[in-house]
A and B are shown apart, each in its own frame.
Chain A
Amino acid sequence: MDLLPSEEQLELLSAASEFLTDQQPIRTLRDRAGQDCAVDRAQWAAGCDIGLLTLGLAEEYGGSGRPLDDEALLFRELGGQLAPGPYIAGALGARVAAACGDAQLAARIGSGEEWVGLAELRGDGEIGPDRVKGTFDLVDAADCDHLLLVTEEGAALLPPPAAEQVTRVEAIDPGTRLATTTLAATEPTHWVPAETERLADRALVLSAAMLAGLAEATSELATEHAATREQFGRPIGVNQAVKHACVDMAVRAEAAVSQALFASVSVSSARQDVRFQLLAAKSVAGRAAIDNAASCIQLHGGMGFTAEHDTHLYLKRAHVLDHLFAEPADVLAELLTQGAAQ
């Protein structure tokens, strides 16, 4: 049993982390506020070059063939750094192409040449091997080449709808591009049934990992502020009202990260209670990310309420991620139908 990152994993993470801080610092979210895409195409390709989308993809499809816990650690980093762009859709989209034997498409997605945006069914609709229809939120899908749809039954890639069928919507998060579209029956170009590969499970791991990383980042941000911001001649962190709030954030982050990693290993080791562990991971990480971002704003006082400070960006991204791949209420309902943990 081992739930700690290995030396090799730590090296890999520090490379990714360095790239993100250098190339996509949080201020780029503000710099690109008016642009169609939240991330610059050249920057995206540079991230793809260091394998951000293909860490877990088999080597024969141009990936690094690393286990899911490597990807969970990477996405925890992406979440903590508020990295803009459709990372989960890209990583899973390349996997869908690979599972369908479409090596060329997997390579084009993995290299950043073709983009995959995420489509989330809102309300009634249908997602199946033969057709997809309904009203969808499109998340970071501006200018994309494919849409990814993930359900319990399987995952699909589909051509994006024509521009005139898409209505842009202002997103809560300045780092996320949102639109809505209604699709009449459309046939997916690629379909991976859950029996072949459970992409929905991987989506839960990656989104939980991002949320957990975000919860960790706000915990660190708040603690740093409490240690350095002085009022009444002392750092505000000497006060228990502030110190204890920082501790509660750290505990929530530790719980969220631990469970996200536990869930990622549950998938690779095919535990019987894997679904239980995944749902628990998403629920714990979603609440930790939102609660911690909220506490972080409070602990920053007036600065926390400004647009200029980063704190609100974490809160807004947390809400976006919390609504991807599974609604919080659905996660809880399904978790309760599961048998007890193994």
Chain B
Amino acid sequence: MDLDFTEDQLDFRERVRTWLAENKPRDPRPDDPQGVREFDLAWQRTQWEGGWAGISWPAEYGGRGATLAEQLIWYEEYAAHGLPSIDACFVGQSHAGPTLITRASAEQKSFHLPRILRGEDIWCQGFSEPDAGSDLASLRTKAVVDGDELIVTGQKVWTSFAASADYQELLVRTDDSGTKHKGITWTVCDMHSPGIEVRPIRTMEGGAEFCEVFYDEVRIPLSNVVGGLGNGWSVAMSTLAFERGTAFTASQVHLARIVEDLIDYARDHVGPDRRRPAIADDEIARRLARARADVAALRAMTYVGICRSMQSDTPGPKGSMLKLHYADLHKDVSALAMEIVGPEALRRGADRHEQGWVGNYLHSFSSSIGGGTSEIQRNIIGDRVLGLPR
């Protein structure tokens, strides 16, 4: 075993570091949807021009075609520079794009993939519905074939960045005569189509990128369907095979930073006895130290997971363990921060990006809900990793 990076990999890290230091966005990220759209697309364009866009995408589709070790390095450095792991370009880069690469036709690929990489389009995801959350396959948004078009009527929910998106990866029901996993279709939806109404949902942390989307007889060309009518479930799952354990690296590095910042904060701010620094409190000190240890182990788990991916082409469901553990730790650390901050935590300013520990705490609740709740993750791990009966 070894933790050594090769000369080439060290050189790669140096180039990433230098490029990020010189090119990362300097201005604060705006708060309004239009501002966020322009900001995130501009940053995507900068990455494209620098040759870094689509770090995990194969070179034949314009991606960087980086090895797993290089992806790990990229995400580590990316997070170390304080860049957000999830922004408006996330769905295009990490979900819709990889799905298109895996399952779309040559025409569909040649139109969309370059636009995603060059920072021309923002994508959003139309999967969840009010009555199809964890039980995604029970979705009911209906699509009827009419000539060479689908006519879509229904509702989606929890769609981040819908208000500023150009395209959506949309799951619709084209057939409800069989079992629920059959009869689902994956299609590209132009968010500027007539009949689409987007309503923002404010989140508990004050964010406004979350939306619900209503479809009233929205016409989508059949040529937008990916993988054929009725095959949408397997198309939606194909991204799982694309992701091989590196995408979580940025979140994990970011969490390690939060823990280190919190330790610094506890050194510089008075603790519960109102005299000594917070870190002088035994309980706070031990919880901070445990957080350090746990986050170190999360990184070791990430490395082990990437090593497993290097050995086999198909990623194991063990990846769900990382997300689950990360969510628990993120919430624990964020709750600890609230205790350390003390009564100051009652004061909440207007700008959520200036919120510091309070904003981080409120945001942390999403980590065990978004992208599959921790309960669903535990079901997946129990069934597929541990082989427990269902």
Contacts and interface: CB of A to CB of B under 8 A. Distances in A.
A271 B321 CA distance: 27
B296 interface: yes
Interface in A323-337: 329, 331-333, 335-336
Interface residues of B, number: 45
A258 B303 contact: yes
Given A1-B307, A251-B324, A329-B286, A341 B389 contact: no
A336 B292 contact: yes
Contacts, number: 156
Contacts of A281: 293, 297
A266 B299 CA distance: 13
A214 interface: no
A237 interface: yes
B179 to A, nearest CB: 21
A27 B10 CA distance: 51
Interface string B245-286: 000000000001000100100000000000000010000011
A276 B378 CA distance: 30
Given A237-B388, A238-B389, A332-B289, A341 B299 contact: yes
Given A255-B297, A280-B297, 11 more contacts: A3-B300, A235-B388, A250-B321, A250-B381, A254-B304, A261-B1, A265-B3, A269-B4, A332-B285, A332-B289, A340-B260
Interface string A275-299: 0110111011001000000000000
A223 B386 contact: yes
B4 A256 contact: no
B69 interface: yes
A67 B3 CA distance: 13
A254 B385 CA distance: 12
A248 B386 CA distance: 11
A259 B296 contact: yes
B390 interface: yes
B325 A262 contact: no
A283 B297 CA distance: 10
A69 B293 contact: no
Interface stretch (A109-117, A121-129, A161-169, A239-247): A239-247
A259 B292 CA distance: 12
A227 B290 contact: no
B379 interface: yes
Contacts of A238: 388-390
A65 B196 CA distance: 69
B303 A1 contact: yes
Interface of A: 1-6, 67, 69, 223, 226-227, 234-235, 237-238, 240, 243-244, 246-248, 250-251, 254-256, 258-259, 261-262, 264-266, 268-269, 271, 276-277, 279-281, 283-284, 287, 329, 331-333, 335-336, 340-341
* Most B Cβ at <10 Å: residue of A256, A269, A332: A332
A69 B378 contact: no
Contacts of A336: 263, 279, 285, 288-289, 292
Contact of B1 (A250, A256, A265): A265
Question: DSSP class of B's interface residues: helix, strand, loop or mixed?
Answer: helix
* Most A Cβ at <10 Å: residue of B2, B296, B307, B321: B296
Contacts of A237: 382, 388-389
Interface in B313-371: 318, 321, 324-325
Given A259-B296, A283-B290, A333 B388 contact: no
B375 interface: yes
B140 to A, nearest CB: 26
Nearest to A259: B297
Nearest to A269: B3
7 contacts: A67-B1, A237-B382, A244-B379, A251-B381, A255-B300, A258-B297, A287-B290
Contacts of A246: 382, 386, 388
Contacts of B3: 1, 3, 262, 265-266, 269, 271
Nearest to A70: B1
Contacts of B290: 283, 287, 332
Contact of A2 (B307, B318, B378, B388): B307
Contacts of A266: 3
B19 interface: no
B294 interface: yes
Contact of B301 (A6, A258, A333): A258
Nearest to A4: B307
A333 B285 contact: yes
A6 B263 CA distance: 38
A333 B285 CA distance: 7
B293 A280 contact: yes
Contacts of B382: 237, 243-244, 246-247
A266 B325 CA distance: 23
A330 B289 CA distance: 11
B290 to A, nearest CB: 6
Contacts of A234: 389
Contacts of A240: 375, 378-379
B1 A264 contact: yes
A223 B293 contact: no
The 9 closest A-B pairs by CB, nearest first: A332-B289, A258-B300, A262-B300, A259-B297, A280-B296, A280-B293, A243-B382, A237-B388, A283-B293
A212 B5 CA distance: 26
B387 interface: yes
Contacts of A268: 2
B113 interface: no
Contacts of A258: 297, 300-301, 303-304
